[in-house]
Structure 1
Amino acid sequence: MIYLENAEIFQEGRFIKAHIFTAGERIKKIQAVDYHTLRDLDVKVYDCTGCFVIPGILDPHLHLAGGSGEKGGFSSQSAAITIAECVRGGVTTLVGTLGVDTTTKTMPELVARARAFNDVGLTAYCYTGGYDCPPRTITDSVRHDVIYIPEIIGVGEIAIADRRAPEPTLHDLARSMVDAYVGGMLSNKPGISHIHAGGGDRRLQTLRDLMEVHVIVPHKIHITHIGRSKALVEEAIEMAKRGCFVDLDLWDRDFVYWYKVYRDLGGPLDQLTVSSDAGIGSPSELWWELRDAVLNHGYTLEELLPHFTVNTARALGLSRKGRILVEHDADLTVIDAKNFEIKHVISRGQVFLEDGKFVFSNRMDFSRRGLDIYGIGEENDKKSS
């Protein structure tokens, strides 16, 4: 059990003074708790005076098992994402995907990686497939993957308008998206279709064509990589106004630029999310880009946080994520209000970062290997140097 007292918590678009009490994996109270009760219950207390408390950040698109080697062959493949890379940036929920490489990077590997993150205490999901359409699945279909494999919440990232994948036929794309949707209905999962928008001249034309001839539920579509051109942003805004969710990734670390373009063009702000696209970069770049936008570009934390939290939770259909409310998951990040440094990170009621130091083991008890598999030793060395 954890008690965060004297905090400025982010709730419904603004910061309010409050106290937070968590038990197990959930937030149980957002109010003061009697100190005698705290002592009797052996509660861990954090004084959050001078701090903001925000929901754990959600990363809706990253290459959890590592990125492909398309920039230089096998030796250019990026390493699998570490837990420390997420925790140091306040990321507590993430969705892994395969990309162009569905040959040396496989779905069983991706699912296993997500399950490992869940076992440790973060929340990790994944999509089935990759750029290919029909998607490469674990079972015989997208529908069965979504229904029977706990970590899989949808299909993706299916590529359109990209030289690295054939443009999917409308039938194959519709089949994949309907299977994800129906699989989600039958298993009480989100059933998302995660779409990779490439840099080709067709941009989002295939999605528009699809909606002309098939009945597709717009809010189950999440379109990523929209920050390639102004023309693509304009088309993404059109899709957002239809009800789709759209996503700016941090591959080029240019969030502020494309966010301004999106806003200036009148894009629906409640339909916009941000992802790390980690593989080359790190999930923690979500926090660093957000922090930079506030400290150096005149944006406020209140206006930007929804794109990293509640919007993403809505896009992914995760009803207990993205907000600080009673009975929501206890995913909380405590930030020093003066310098915007992350002090504490709590995921599903478990402390992962305390006073800027990692507080979980960096290798399995049964291993004699000296590998720092989660990147914790290196990060703690940086903090203490």
Structure 2
Amino acid sequence: MITVVKNAEIYAPEPLGKKTLVILGDKIEGIYDDLNIPKDFVQIDVVDAEGKILVPGFIDNHVHILGGGGEGGFKTRTPELTLSKITTAGITTVIGCLGTDDVCRSMRSLVAKANALEEEGITTYVYTGSYEIPIKTLTGSAKGDIMMVSKMIGIGEIALSDHRSSQPTYEQFINTVAQCRVGGLLSGKSGVVNVHLGDGASMMDYLFSMLDNTEIPASQVLPTHVNRKDKLFEKGIEYIKKGGFVDLTTSFDPDFLEPGEVKASKGLKLLLQSGCPIDNITFSSDGNGSMPIFDENRKFIGLGICSVDSLYREVKDAVMLEDIPLEEAIKVITSNPAEIFKLKTKGRIEKGRDADLVLLDKSTLDINSVMAKGKFHIHNKNTLIKGTFE
């Protein structure tokens, strides 16, 4: 099947202007200034994208696809994510993680869920492990998981500076990162360690000690939730300036930010104003993790669910409210995570890459259509493909 998308303003993420994109099967065949399309060739599906912007499909690098939470007892376990919940958010690639609970949720279940979503039409990867060190693995070692299990591209989310972490020693943490690095080198994968940062006093101490006392590069660890506190956010700026990457979490209660919490879109602007390179910043949603809910008096009244919808919402706010150019803001959920996680066919609109694409209405930047692996899942804001049990 050949699909032609014409008259779209393409951000690859660099702005290319109004072009015609040809998709052959699940790949981008080419980008053209003009193209003569045979009218009687029935195997060509032509999409007129006049008034729309075409960007790469979004990559969410931290998602609880099996559900998360549970810290308030069994009734607070959040549900699994469904396919259409992911695709309506413009997301075409997810990296799944376990989080706090590695007893009632397992690596086998996580890999199975990732395979299920892949069969339904999107691209999936997972981290091996959970909050805990030593990590629980499938093959007996983190290095073995990364080398032998195709879905596993790193370790995460390892919890530091959090009362819910396993309180690993510095040596345990460094050995875990080292295993992940070597497993990545031997398998051609990223071997990135995704680190959950809580609101404890130690913040990023282990990461800075790693830079001072080992040969492991800063890029081997991607700390997330860096925007949960302003003091932690400042440490994130320091980490970037030492060559590292940081990840800002997009899910939060928009009406009641925690004291010191930095909204992701605002955080992106602050990072750029501080001289941090845009290429060293990513956003992730923490989708289907649990999220506290407060009333108007800031009294805790229950738990909500982190939403994958927030991923693009914060990118859109970065453009519309913080005056960050679209070609810069969109990088944090496209080309940046693709580069960091070595997803060589993702994150950019160019010949030979996967046909993972999102069409945006030019006037509002709202999501209009979403294509994953060359198939429209969402078209003109209508859901065409749903998960098996939706």
Q: With structure 1 as the length reference, what TM-score do the two structures score?
A: 0.90
- Compute the displacement of 1:91 (Å): 0.5
In 2 relative to 1, CA 15–281 (structure 1 residues): closer, same or farther, beyond 3 Å?
Answer: farther
Quick check: 1:278 aligned with 2:278? Answer: no
Alignment correspondent of 1:89:
89
- Compute the displacement of 1:346 (Å): 0.7
Quick check: 1:317 aligned with 2:342? Answer: yes
The 5-angstrom pairing of residues 52-63 of structure 1 reads: 52-63=53-64
The 5-angstrom pairing of residues 37-52 of structure 1 reads: 39-40=40-41, 42-52=43-53
Higher deviation after alignment, 310-319 or 322-331: 310-319
What letter is aligned with 1:22? Answer: I
Structure 2, unaligned runs of 5 or more: 255-262, 289-304
* CA–CA separation in structure 2 for the residues paired with 1:290 and 1:212: 34
1:259 to 265, 268, 285: 268
In 2 relative to 1, CA 251–290 (structure 1 residues): closer, same or farther, beyond 3 Å?
Answer: same
**Deviation per CA, 1:133-171, whole angstroms, max 9, x where unpaired?**
111112201011111111110111111111111332232
In 2 relative to 1, CA 168–268 (structure 1 residues): closer, same or farther, beyond 3 Å?
Answer: farther
The 5-angstrom pairing of residues 354-373 of structure 1 reads: 354-363=379-388, 373=389
- Compute the displacement of 1:119 (Å): 1.2
The 5-angstrom pairing of residues 1-385 of structure 1 reads: 1-31=2-32, 32-36=34-38, 39-40=40-41, 42-70=43-71, 72-252=72-252, 254-279=263-288, 280-363=305-388, 373-374=389-390
% same residue:
33
Contact 2:54 / 2:360 at 8 angstroms: preserved in 1? Answer: yes
* CA–CA separation in structure 1 for the residues paired with 2:384 and 2:372: 12
Alignment correspondent of 2:298:
none
What letter is aligned with 2:67? Answer: G
- 4+ residue segments displaced more than 4 Å: none
* CA–CA separation in structure 2 for the residues paired with 1:61 and 1:354: 26
In 2 relative to 1, CA 73–235 (structure 1 residues): closer, same or farther, beyond 3 Å?
Answer: same
* CA–CA separation in structure 2 for the residues paired with 1:138 and 1:231: 37
**Deviation per CA, 1:240-259, whole angstroms, max 9, x where unpaired?**
12222100002315223322
Higher deviation after alignment, 269-278 or 160-169: 160-169
* CA–CA separation in structure 1 for the residues paired with 2:116 and 2:40: 34
* CA–CA separation in structure 2 for the residues paired with 1:160 and 1:67: 18
Contact 1:4 / 1:21 at 8 angstroms: preserved in 2? Answer: yes
Higher deviation after alignment, 40-49 or 273-282: 40-49
What letter is aligned with 2:59? Answer: L
**Deviation per CA, 1:88-138, whole angstroms, max 9, x where unpaired?**
111001101111111112111111111111112201101001111111112
SS in 2 for 1:202: coil
Contact 2:278 / 2:328 at 8 angstroms: preserved in 1? Answer: no
SS in 2 for 1:40: coil
Contact 2:13 / 2:335 at 8 angstroms: preserved in 1? Answer: no
SS in 2 for 1:30: strand
In 2 relative to 1, CA 41–142 (structure 1 residues): closer, same or farther, beyond 3 Å?
Answer: farther
* CA–CA separation in structure 1 for the residues paired with 2:84 and 2:321: 26
* CA–CA separation in structure 2 for the residues paired with 1:75 and 1:329: 40
* CA–CA separation in structure 2 for the residues paired with 1:195 and 1:102: 16
* CA–CA separation in structure 1 for the residues paired with 2:387 and 2:202: 46
What letter is aligned with 1:33? Answer: L
**Deviation per CA, 1:299-352, whole angstroms, max 9, x where unpaired?**
432231111211111121212211111111111001111232222111111211
**Deviation per CA, 1:174-197, whole angstroms, max 9, x where unpaired?**
222122122122222221111111
Q: With structure 2 as the length reference, what TM-score do the two structures score?
A: 0.88
Contact 1:59 / 1:94 at 8 angstroms: preserved in 2? Answer: yes
In 2 relative to 1, CA 50–133 (structure 1 residues): closer, same or farther, beyond 3 Å?
Answer: same
In 2 relative to 1, CA 214–50 (structure 1 residues): closer, same or farther, beyond 3 Å?
Answer: same
Contact 2:61 / 2:94 at 8 angstroms: preserved in 1? Answer: yes
Say what the alpha-carbon RMSD is for the aligned residues: 1.7
In 2 relative to 1, CA 300–268 (structure 1 residues): closer, same or farther, beyond 3 Å?
Answer: closer
Higher helix share: 1
Contact 2:266 / 2:322 at 8 angstroms: preserved in 1? Answer: no
Structure 1, unaligned runs of 5 or more: 364-372, 375-385
Contact 2:13 / 2:330 at 8 angstroms: preserved in 1? Answer: no
SS in 2 for 1:35: coil
Contact 1:233 / 1:262 at 8 angstroms: preserved in 2? Answer: no
